[in-house]
Structure 1
Amino acid sequence: MTAGHRREHDLLGYRDVPTGAYWGVHTLRAAENFPITGTAISAYPHLINALAAVKEAAARANEGLGLLATDKASAIATACQEIRDGRLHDQFIVDVIQGGAGTSTNMNANEVIANRALEILGYVRGDYHHLHPNEDVNLSQSTNDVYPTAVNVATIVMVHELLDAMAFLREAFAVKAEKFRDILKMGRTQLQDAVPMTLGQEFSAYAVMLEEDQSRLAESALLMHEINLGATAIGTGLNAPAGYAEAARRHLAAITGLPLVTAANLVEATQDCGAFVHLSSVLKRIAVKLSKSCNDLRLLSSGPRAGLAEINLPPAQAGSSIMPGKVNPVIPEVVNQVAFEVIGNDITITMAAEAGQLQLNAFEPIILHSLAKSITHLRVACLTLAGRCVSGITANTETLRAAVENSIGLVTALNPHIGYTAATAIAKEAHSTGRGVAELVLEKGLLPADRLAALLRPEEVAGAGVRGGPE
Structure 2
Amino acid sequence: MRIEHDALGERKLDKSLSYGIQTLRAKENFAISGKTIAHIPDFVASIVQIKHAAAIANNRAGVLDQSVSDAIGKAASDTLKDLSPRDFVVDIYHGGGGTSANMNVNEVLANRANEIATGHKGYDFVHPNTHVNMGQSTNDVIPAAMKMTVYQRLTKLENALGGFIHSLDKKESEFNEIVKLGRTCLQDALPITLGQQFSGYKSAFERMLVDVQDVKSVCLELPLSATAIGTEFGTFPGYKEGLYKALCELTGVEWGIEHNLFDGLQNADLWLKVSAVTKAVALNLHKLSGDLRLMSSGPRAGLEEISLPAVQPGSSIMPGKVNPVMPEMAMQVYFRVLGNDVAISRACEGELDLNVWESLILNCVTESCELLTECMPLLAKKCIDGIVANSEKCFKDAEQSLALSTVIATLFDYQTASKLAKQADLENKTIKQVVIENKVMSEEDAGRYLDPLMMTSPDRFNELFNSKRGS
The alignment's TM-score, normalised by the length of structure 1, stands at 0.94
Distance 1:311 1:413 in 2: 27
Distance 1:81 1:27 in 2: 21
In the TM superposition, residue 225 of structure 1 has moved relative to its aligned partner by 1.4
Q: 1:396 aligns with which of 387, 390, 394?
A: 390
Q: In the alignment, is the contact (CA less than 8 A) between 2:399 and 2:452 conserved in 1? A: no
Q: In the alignment, is the contact (CA less than 8 A) between 2:106 and 2:132 conserved in 1? A: yes
Distance 1:63 1:76, change over 3 A: same
Query: Per-residue displacement from partner, 1:117-151 (whole Å, max 9, x unpaired)?
Result: 222224212x2111111111111111001111011
Q: 1:382 aligns with which of 355, 376, 390?
A: 376
1:144 aligns with 2:139: yes
1:249 aligns with 2:264: no
- The equivalent of 2:361 in structure 1 is 367
Aligned residues: 460
Q: In the alignment, is the contact (CA less than 8 A) between 2:191 and 2:453 conserved in 1? A: no
- The equivalent of 2:103 in structure 1 is 107
Aligned-pair Cα RMSD in Å: 1.7
Distance 2:183 2:72 in 1: 62
Paired amino acid for 2:299: P
Distance 1:49 1:263 in 2: 21
Where do 4+ consecutive residues of structure 1 move more than 6 Å?
A: none
Q: 2:33 aligns with which of 7, 15, 37?
A: 37
Distance 2:85 2:262 in 1: 32
Q: 1:91 aligns with which of 75, 87, 90?
A: 87
Q: In the alignment, is the contact (CA less than 8 A) between 1:15 and 1:25 conserved in 2? A: yes
In the TM superposition, residue 82 of structure 1 has moved relative to its aligned partner by 2.7
In the TM superposition, residue 414 of structure 1 has moved relative to its aligned partner by 4.3
In the TM superposition, residue 274 of structure 1 has moved relative to its aligned partner by 1.3
- 3-state DSSP of counterpart to 2:86: helix
Query: Per-residue displacement from partner, 1:44-67 (whole Å, max 9, x unpaired)?
Result: 131121111111111110110111
1:407 aligns with 2:417: no
Q: 2:411 aligns with which of 413, 417, 424?
A: 417
- The equivalent of 2:224 in structure 1 is 229
Paired amino acid for 1:70: Q
Distance 1:420 1:111 in 2: 79
Paired amino acid for 1:256: T
Q: In the alignment, is the contact (CA less than 8 A) between 1:145 and 1:233 conserved in 2? A: yes
Q: In the alignment, is the contact (CA less than 8 A) between 2:3 and 2:12 conserved in 1? A: yes
Distance 1:465 1:140, change over 3 A: farther
Superposition pairs of residues 277-356 of structure 1, within 5 angstroms: 277-354=272-349, 356=350
Distance 1:128 1:414 in 2: 87
- The equivalent of 2:445 in structure 1 is 451
Distance 2:70 2:335 in 1: 46
Q: In the alignment, is the contact (CA less than 8 A) between 2:408 and 2:414 conserved in 1? A: no
- 3-state DSSP of counterpart to 2:42: helix
In the TM superposition, residue 418 of structure 1 has moved relative to its aligned partner by 5.0
In the TM superposition, residue 243 of structure 1 has moved relative to its aligned partner by 2.4
Structure 1: unaligned runs, 5 residues or longer: 467-471
Q: In the alignment, is the contact (CA less than 8 A) between 2:13 and 2:21 conserved in 1? A: yes
Superposition pairs of residues 190-205 of structure 1, within 5 angstroms: 190-205=185-200
- 3-state DSSP of counterpart to 2:5: strand
Q: Percent identity?
A: 39
Q: In the alignment, is the contact (CA less than 8 A) between 2:90 and 2:101 conserved in 1? A: yes
1:240 aligns with 2:238: no
Distance 2:193 2:443 in 1: 22
In the TM superposition, residue 77 of structure 1 has moved relative to its aligned partner by 1.4
Q: In the alignment, is the contact (CA less than 8 A) between 1:276 and 1:367 conserved in 2? A: yes
Distance 1:384 1:375, change over 3 A: same
- 3-state DSSP of counterpart to 2:123: coil
- 3-state DSSP of counterpart to 2:180: strand
In the TM superposition, residue 394 of structure 1 has moved relative to its aligned partner by 0.7
- The equivalent of 1:219 in structure 2 is 214
Distance 2:163 2:86 in 1: 31
Query: Per-residue displacement from partner, 1:241-268 (whole Å, max 9, x unpaired)?
Result: 1222222122112222222211122122
In the TM superposition, residue 457 of structure 1 has moved relative to its aligned partner by 4.8
1:440 aligns with 2:412: no
Distance 2:96 2:311 in 1: 45
In the TM superposition, residue 453 of structure 1 has moved relative to its aligned partner by 3.4
